[in-house]
Structure 1
Amino acid sequence: MTSIQKAACIGGGVIGGAWAARFVLAGIDVDMYDPHPEAERIGGEVLGNAERAYAMLTMAPLPPRGKITFCKSIEEAVEGADWIQESVPERLELKRNVITQIDAATNPQALIGSSTSGLMPTDLQRDMKHPERFFVAHPYNPVYLLPLAELVGGQKTSPETLKAAQEKLAPIGMKGVIIKKEIEAFVGDRLLEAVWREGLWLIHDDICDTETLDDVIRYSFGMRWAQMGLFETYRIAGGEAGMRHFLAQFGPCLSWPWTRLTDVVDLDDALIDKIAAQSDAQSGARGIRELERIRDENLVGIMQALKAGDGGQGWGAGKILGEFEKHLWAQGGGAKKEPDFSAPLRLLDTKVSAAWVDYNGHMTEYRYLQVFADTADMLLRLIGVDFAYVEAGHSYYTVETHIRHLGEAKLGQKLYSTLQVLSSDDKRLRFFTTIYNAETNEALATAEQLMLHVDSKAGKSVAAPFDVLAKLKPIAEAHAKLPIPEGVGRSVGQKR
């Protein structure tokens, strides 16, 4: 994949800060310029929330965190960057002037993207010397979680620029969609504007309050849209006859006076006061950072669920997440250290996130199994059983697991796990894993597991190939010299 080597963010507000977080957590150094006196604090808080979200989102090894540097000028920030993201306030003259400064100060081959949510790229690139490398890269908040960026070129933008931008977004876990023609507000905001306008009328006319309107969205079609969008959802609504039947059945409704989309609401002081008061009643008890964290937890849960869709192949945003994780695993999280086989392998370091706990604030039972499974996956990757190996038709399947709960893992607690190989042959792999409190080194849980090497297409166990067994052999031989861990061979209910 074509990767971004160094990024610059001009403007560090909600969107610019989140762009910077996306780059930094993908291992990319970022130089940022924003004259706001609180820019560094705001950027740090956004990055902190992003790190928290990624800890819930994926167990794949993130690369070493990129460095973020706050600069004193646009010229200083863009020096050496191959991707510059402009995210200054939505005013045409301001944006045009900033983009022209960026263009004059940076390498002509560097890509320049704008986060504008509706301004025409042709208008923005008017005064550039190298307008062919400018485009709109319109993201959705939070940029570090939501993977979409609308890529829109102006009249002077080259097709190669849009393709290059699309390719460079993939390694940082984003999906760039190229919009064929430039249009005010592009595609996403056009759709959002229609829903927003109708929503304002519903509040204005006292049909419902803001909380009820949000409930209607999030408990119904919002979930459908999250995983399938608009047209594919309506295709299913057409039943076996498909989209043609849906259009024939519901098309006439478009001429009915159901909506007020062409009638613009007067957003006067009274309506503003009404909406603000209802919104305060709905959400005002929580601060903005808390609301962001709750939003991030919900998005992570949806994306993780979608990653398991389509028989494990991933669906929608979950498929993008799965592809991003494959890239992260292939990169290996940075410099690789030679493992020490003279002790149980320390394979996983993690943290108990808010998405992992139950009503008592303790890590819920199935998350222990996830940590054990993730640790086992680390071992398999160590011996060459990676994504490519599995896609080729072979893998190790767990056939027995015995878990002991010895302590409690609580919200925010740092954990690590170790694994000791107990025995192995050409088909079987038996090992013992322990989860520890990283601060006290107290053992919180153990698992003894047995795996079989299988031909997944044939659905039967087969001998592992020589290269896998050759990588496993030195680990098994070294671990055979270690003491047998306490707890090996225990049965359920056995007294200590």
Structure 2
Amino acid sequence: MQAVSKVAIIGGGVIGGGWVARFLLNGIDVALYDPAPDALVKVTGLIDNAERAYDELLGIHRPPKGTLSLAADIETAVRGADFIQESAPENIDLKQSILAEIDRHAPTSALICSSTSGLRPTDLQKNLSYPERFMVGHPFNPVYLLPLVEICGGEQTSADSKSRAAEIYQSLGMKPLVLRKEIDAFIADRLLEAYWREALWLVKDGIATVEEIDDAIRYGAGLRWAMMGTFQVYRIAGGDAGMQHFLSQFGPSLKWPWTKLMDVPELDDDFINLIAQQSDDQAGDLSIKELEQIRDTGLVGFLKVLQKLDWGAGEVLDDYETALKASRPTAELDLQHPLPLFKTNIKSDWIDYNGHMTEHRYLQLFGETTDELLTYIGMDAAYLADGHSVYTLETHLRHLKEVAQGERVSVTTQLLGLDSKRVRILHVMTLDRSEEVLATAEQMLMHVDTNAGSASEFGSGLAAPLSTIWSAHQHLQVPNFTGRGIRALNG
């Protein structure tokens, strides 16, 4: 895949700022050009939201953040860029002018994509000297979380350019959908517009308020759509006979005059004010930032559930996280100290009714640290497939300090003992900002022959690295609290 080290974003509104956040949080340097005086303030707010969401979504697997620079003009922004994403307002004359300037100053090898939600790429590439590298890359808000990006080429766009763009977007954790034909508004927005037209009529005719229409989606079809698209949902509705039965049963109803999809209600001042007032009532006291954070928290939760099912957007997330793990450089650890194996932030769903991390999450973090240790010494999929593993025999966990949502913590691991079948370890969790000890866990692990269902000696693949670590750690000071169980109440 083409390596991307610098990206230029032209336009820093909601969409452009979302692109800035997605690229930055994938470790890519971004140059932003936006003539608005408050552009940096607005983009910084979006980046903060994105970081909060990525901490929940990816935790320690997130790469180091790229560097953001604010360019004085388009020429400066695109200088040396590998990839350029234009996100200016939906005005064809403005976009054509901006794209022509981008094309004039960008390296000839750079790809140029527009975030337009409806303008045809053939119209946008008319004045370009290198039109073959231009296409639409249409995202969905919030750009830093929703994976879909529609790629639509114009008449002069090369197949290679579309393929390269798809690879770049995919490396960012996105799902590129390459259109087979150029069409106004592409695929998703055409579907959304049909729903939007009918929703406006329902408000205009007094059938429902904006909140009731939103409820009709979020309590019904919207929940299904996160899992399956319309066609797959209707296939299930057809029972064992599938889609053919569904269409024969419900197809005739499509001729009934239920919808007004070919008409648009007049958006006069009275109608606009009605919708705006109902929208204000629906939001109540919640600010836009609060609504964005509620939306993002919900989306992260949906994505994590779908990831467990390896389904839809969750499959994309899983592939993305796997790629991030594989690309992380393997640090050379100093064996003369406890091993710094694990870092994470405290997620929102780890918090209990007291506002701090709930007790079983401490064990989860220590368990993940044990997994990191086993990975470090060489217990991989091949080792497991060969019929060997390491099981936890005993854990003694001490809760010492509370820790709140969003805090960053680290866990170190020290070997306390080793024989041919067992290893005794100590995990210590500390708060990054103060190095306070939050909790400790002492564990006894045993090597197992999973085929025989019994203890066995460590294979040479694990025994050698464990011996190397133990030869250093056996000289470390052993904390005086180790080796103890829970005291008797009267002890």
Paired letter, 2:145: L
3-state secondary structure, aligned to 1:219: helix
2:471 is the counterpart of 1:477: yes
2:313 is the counterpart of 1:322: no
Q: Which residue of 2 aligns with 1:363?
A: 357
Q: Which residue of 1 aligns with 2:461?
A: 467
Task: Label 1:484 to 1:32 Cα distance change in 2 as closer, same or farther (>3 A).
Answer: same
Q: Which residue of 1 aligns with 2:241?
A: 241
Q: Which residue of 1 aligns with 2:36?
A: 36
Paired letter, 1:168: I
Tell me how far 1:427 sits from its aligned partner. Answer: 5.9
Task: Label 1:366 to 1:170 Cα distance change in 2 as closer, same or farther (>3 A).
Answer: farther
Aligned residues: 490
Q: Which residue of 2 aligns with 1:344?
A: 338
Contact 1:3 1:171 in 2 (8 A): no
Q: Which residue of 2 aligns with 1:382?
A: 376
What are the residue-to-residue correspondences of 1:13-28 with 2, within 5 Å? 13-28=13-28
Partner Cα distance (2:216, 2:86) in 1: 35
What TM-score comes out, normalization by structure 2 length?
0.91
3-state secondary structure, aligned to 1:142: coil
Task: Label 1:56 to 1:154 Cα distance change in 2 as closer, same or farther (>3 A).
Answer: same
Contact 2:59 2:345 in 1 (8 A): no
Segments of structure 2 that go 5 or more residues without pairing to the other structure are: none
Contact 2:200 2:265 in 1 (8 A): yes
Paired letter, 1:294: I
Task: Label 1:293 to 1:125 Cα distance change in 2 as closer, same or farther (>3 A).
Answer: same
Tell me how far 1:182 sits from its aligned partner. Answer: 1.0
Task: Label 1:20 to 1:422 Cα distance change in 2 as closer, same or farther (>3 A).
Answer: same
Deviation readout 1:197-250 (Å, 9 max, x if unpaired): 122122222322222222222222212111222222222222222222222222
Contact 1:401 1:450 in 2 (8 A): yes
Task: Label 1:350 to 1:101 Cα distance change in 2 as closer, same or farther (>3 A).
Answer: same
Q: Which residue of 1 aligns with 2:134?
A: 134
What are the residue-to-residue correspondences of 1:273-288 with 2, within 5 Å? 273-288=273-288
What are the residue-to-residue correspondences of 1:29-428 with 2, within 5 Å? 29-309=29-309, 314-332=310-328, 336-385=330-379, 396=390, 398=392, 401-424=395-418, 428=422
Contact 2:60 2:343 in 1 (8 A): no
Partner Cα distance (2:383, 2:73) in 1: 48
Partner Cα distance (1:345, 1:403) in 2: 18
Contact 2:60 2:344 in 1 (8 A): no
Partner Cα distance (2:331, 2:294) in 1: 36
Q: Out of 164-173 and 401-410, give the one that drifted further.
A: 401-410
Partner Cα distance (2:386, 2:88) in 1: 47
Deviation readout 1:341-397 (Å, 9 max, x if unpaired): 223222233332434323432123343233223323332332234578779987655
Task: Label 1:420 to 1:5 Cα distance change in 2 as closer, same or farther (>3 A).
Answer: same
Partner Cα distance (1:191, 1:458) in 2: 57
Tell me how far 1:116 sits from its aligned partner. Answer: 0.4
Partner Cα distance (2:454, 2:280) in 1: 59
Q: Out of 75-84 and 222-231, give the one that drifted further.
A: 222-231
Partner Cα distance (1:88, 1:196) in 2: 23
For the pair shown, which has the larger CA radius of gyration, 1 or 2? Answer: 2
Partner Cα distance (1:31, 1:456) in 2: 53
2:427 is the counterpart of 1:433: yes
Task: Label 1:479 to 1:156 Cα distance change in 2 as closer, same or farther (>3 A).
Answer: same
Q: Out of 338-347 and 188-197, give the one that drifted further.
A: 338-347
3-state secondary structure, aligned to 2:316: helix
Paired letter, 1:27: G
Tell me how far 1:164 sits from its aligned partner. Answer: 0.9
Partner Cα distance (1:394, 1:158) in 2: 51
Task: Label 1:482 to 1:132 Cα distance change in 2 as closer, same or farther (>3 A).
Answer: same
Task: Label 1:102 to 1:403 Cα distance change in 2 as closer, same or farther (>3 A).
Answer: same
Q: Out of 259-268 and 6-15, give the one that drifted further.
A: 259-268
Task: Label 1:396 to 1:101 Cα distance change in 2 as closer, same or farther (>3 A).
Answer: farther
Segments of structure 1 that go 5 or more residues without pairing to the other structure are: none
3-state secondary structure, aligned to 1:416: strand
Deviation readout 1:255-287 (Å, 9 max, x if unpaired): 223322223222222221121111111114122
Tell me how far 1:431 sits from its aligned partner. Answer: 2.7
3-state secondary structure, aligned to 1:227: coil
Partner Cα distance (2:124, 2:390) in 1: 54
Partner Cα distance (1:203, 1:303) in 2: 32
Q: Out of 212-221 and 424-433, give the one that drifted further.
A: 424-433
2:436 is the counterpart of 1:442: yes
Q: Which residue of 2 aligns with 1:9?
A: 9
Partner Cα distance (1:258, 1:392) in 2: 61
